[in-house]
Amino acid sequence: MEDKKLLEQLKNKDQAAYSILLDTYQKKVFNTCLSFVPNAEDAEDLAQEVFLEVFNSIDKFKGNAKLSTWIYRISVNKCLEFIRKKKTKKRFGFMESISGGEIPLDRKSYFTEFNHPGIQLENKEKTEILFSAINELPEAQKVVFTLSNIDGLSYKEIGEVTQKSISSIESLLFRARKNLKQKLTEFYKKEGW
């Protein structure tokens, strides 16, 4: 079904159109969420939130970009919002532990059985190390790196999702790769690998 026709039906709150939207984008949205939030349950919850947001705010979609780009943008924003909230909770947990409250969770305990189609690593530990390093990147670098290297989007598509120029994306990717190399090198040296 064409984007225009689907969009029109979505704006009319047609349930069949919503089913088509889910069939078309559900796997892509879940994989994007899993790329940013490598915990299957949280990624599923975020994907559901993305589709609720799409359905509830479809009237606000102006059609300046492709429907898929708009959905990607919502997915990325939902994931970043989730990560920010999680970091705030983590800081609060750390403060509680200092003041005699609960002990904060180890960051690696967050990962679940991980099977992302964009990542073919030998084992869960390596996956955790990689995603921990990606998670430590500055937000703009993390977004561009994830969309490029994990979700496989082209620079043009990343530009549409992030609303950044191609040269800005190239620069962010260069810095992200440099920072990741440094973080992973430091980790492996510290671990004696």
Q: Indicate if the pLDDT at residue 61 is higher than 90.
A: no
Other beta carbons within 10 Å of 151: 22
- With bands split at pLDDT 50, 70 and 90, how would you rate the model's confidence at 170? very high
- With bands split at pLDDT 50, 70 and 90, how would you rate the model's confidence at 74? very high
What is the value of pTM for the model shown? 0.68
pLDDT in tens, 89-134: 554 444 444 444 443 334 444 444 455 555 544 556 677 777 788 8
Fold of the 3-191 domain = Rna Polymerase Sigma Factor; Chain: A (1.10.1740)
The amino acid sitting at 184 is: L
Domain boundaries, the chain: 3-191
